[in-house]
Amino acid sequence: MIFAKLVALLEHEHAQFRIIDHPAEGRSDLVAAIRGTAPGQGAKAMLCKSKHDDGTLILAILPGDKKLDFKKVAAAVDIRKATLASPDEAQRETGCAIGAIPPFTFSPHIRLVVDAELVEQFQEIAFNAGRLDKSIVLNSSDYLRIARPLLTSLCV
């Protein structure tokens, strides 16, 4: 469902993208090799939440070869502490399994925050598109135009 919704959105917005079918893979480094893209070009999506149960959800997007700094996530959305959502929470909130979450949010309850390095360093980003066996490679400027994320530093 998310895959079809995402493709429809990109087509509607006249984005420059291509779809890659591949064996199911959730690890950033392995899927980059399958796609033929650089590991850092992969848009790794991590659903985070406020550690203080105020209901804040954050979809943090970072280069596939980097590690997330939870203090930077918290600072970006003005909460005290951020932590990773559980796999069950991620599935419920995004409609996707861990590893298949695209760098878009279709929920008004999830704030989208992107590490600026991802879109500044690469003309295209690559990501699993709601499924572990389908990826999309998308023009970075189209991504920014359509997703309208908060850009900041999120990595260690």
Reduced 3-state DSSP string for the chain: CHHHHHHHHHHHCCCCEEEEECCCCCCHHHHHHHHCCCHHHEEEEEEEEECCCCCCEEEEEEECCCCECHHHHHHHHCCCCEEECCHHHHHHHHCCCCCCCCCCCCCCCEEEEEEHHHHHHCCEEEEECCCCCEEEEEEHHHHHHHHCCEEECCEC
The pLDDT value given to residue 136? 98
**What residues does each domain of the chain span?**
2-152
The pLDDT value given to residue 30? 87
The pLDDT value given to residue 133? 94
CATH number assigned to the domain with residue range 2-152, chosen from the 4 options 3.90.960.10, 3.30.930.10, 1.10.110.30, 3.40.630.30: 3.90.960.10
Q: Which residues of the chain have pLDDT under 50?
A: none
The pLDDT value given to residue 48? 98
